[in-house]
């Protein structure tokens, strides 16, 4: 089996910002330290939750380099470097490697509506041009394309592809993918409401939005699952469900940033076209957070 980049709870970390939209590196540093202190197993920087789609390449690489330097090898740093332009993705992958990232998170091409054969060609090109381990990111609700099981089997035969972040809620298809891919890749859940159900099936952890707000709890839940304590892990999954639903009641990371702002972790600043959370939804989120004594 290919060596996992991590097992357990990886955080799809937010990118804190100032009012003018620039990256607040002071807040990012504090958030990273808090995540490590609360036992997060990996930091995923410049993913969907990090709003990388509205960053320039220079900003994205600055965030990756800052994270690598701040983490200083304490946990793996996985850099989001995906693009709907294969050449651009290859360039970002190379520059992320130069920043010191431990692995790459490479989302499927979005908007173009690639064929399944095109997906294989896309990941083959990237794999041939990087020495870093690749985590394939399948998130059909965002990209408009789903990696079919037979396609994923081909992609995971590539030596550089070591893992899959599966953010497709089709559990039956997830089972089929695990059966076909076997030991060629580690699977991570990309949906916080399905972490334990998918770990039961063989996933080795989660790349989590929830972990921004509740890193210790997310880490504990996945640790329980990895140690075979399914009853307690499942109870935690059920207990955390209202929080997860609240964090996704509007487009992520809108609620996540609202929650972290209420906790004093960052400003509630997003880049257009994302806007702050609606007041009614924020009040519901705050009520759930009070129940967990987060605020």
The conformation of residue 184, written as its DSSP 8-state character, comes to G
In b/e form, how buried is each residue of 121-156, taking b as 16+ CB within 10 angstroms?
A: ebbbebbebbebbbbbbbbeebbebbbbbebbbbbb
CA distances from 187 to 49, 84, 174, 228 (A): 19, 22, 9, 17
Active site residue 220: no
Q: Which of 65, 95, 123, 137 is catalytic?
A: 137
Question: Please, where are the H alpha helices in 19-132?
Answer: 25-37, 57-71, 86-98, 116-128
165 counts as catalytic: yes
* Site of tokens 């790459």: 104
Using alpha carbons only, give the angle 1, 190, 262 rounded to the nearest 5 degrees.
Answer: 135
User: Which of 165, 177, 220, 257 does the annotation list as catalytic?
Assistant: 165
User: How far is C-alpha 226 from the chain's CA centre?
Assistant: 19
Cα–Cα distances in angstroms (integers) from residue 152 to residues 44, 162, 222, in the given order: 22, 12, 25
Query: Measured between alpha carbons, how far is 102 from 76 in angstroms, rounded to an integer?
Result: 6
For the annotated catalytic residues, the residue numbers are 137, 165
């Amino acid at each position: 089996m290919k060596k996992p980049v991590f097992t357990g709870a990886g955080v799809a970390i937010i990118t804190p910002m100032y009012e003018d939209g620039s990256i607040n590196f002071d807040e990012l540093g504090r958030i990273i330290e808090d995540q490590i202190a609360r036992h997060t197993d990996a930091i995923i920087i410049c993913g969907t939750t990090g709003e990388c789609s509205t960053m320039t390449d220079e900003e994205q690489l600055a965030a990756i380099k800052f994270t690598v330097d701040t983490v200083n090898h304490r946990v793996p740093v996985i850099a989001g470097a995906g693009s709907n332009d294969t050449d651009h993705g290859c360039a970002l992958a190379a520059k992320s490697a130069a920043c010191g990232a431990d692995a790459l998170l490479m989302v499927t091409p979005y908007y173009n509506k690639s064929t399944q054969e095109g997906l294989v060609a896309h990941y083959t090109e990237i794999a041939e041009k990087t020495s870093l381990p690749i985590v394939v990111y399948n998130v059909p609700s965002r990209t408009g394309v789903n990696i079919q099981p037979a396609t994923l089997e081909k992609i995971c035969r590539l030596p550089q592809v070591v893992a899959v972040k599966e953010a497709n809620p089709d559990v039956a298809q997830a089972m089929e993918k695990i059966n076909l891919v076997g030991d060629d890749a580690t699977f991570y859940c990309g949906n916080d409401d399905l972490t334990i159900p998918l770990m039961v099936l063989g996933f080795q952890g989660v790349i989590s939005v929830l972990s921004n707000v509740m890193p210790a709890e997310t880490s504990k839940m996945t640790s329980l699952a990895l140690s075979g304590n399914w009853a307690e892990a499942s109870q935690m999954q059920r207990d955390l469900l209202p929080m997860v639903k609240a964090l996704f009641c509007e487009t992520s990371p809108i609620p996540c940033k609202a929650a972290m702002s209420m906790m004093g972790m960052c400003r509630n600043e997003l880049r257009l076209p994302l806007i702050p959370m609606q007041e009614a939804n924020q009040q519901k989120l705050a009520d759930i957070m009070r129940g967990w004594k987060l605020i």
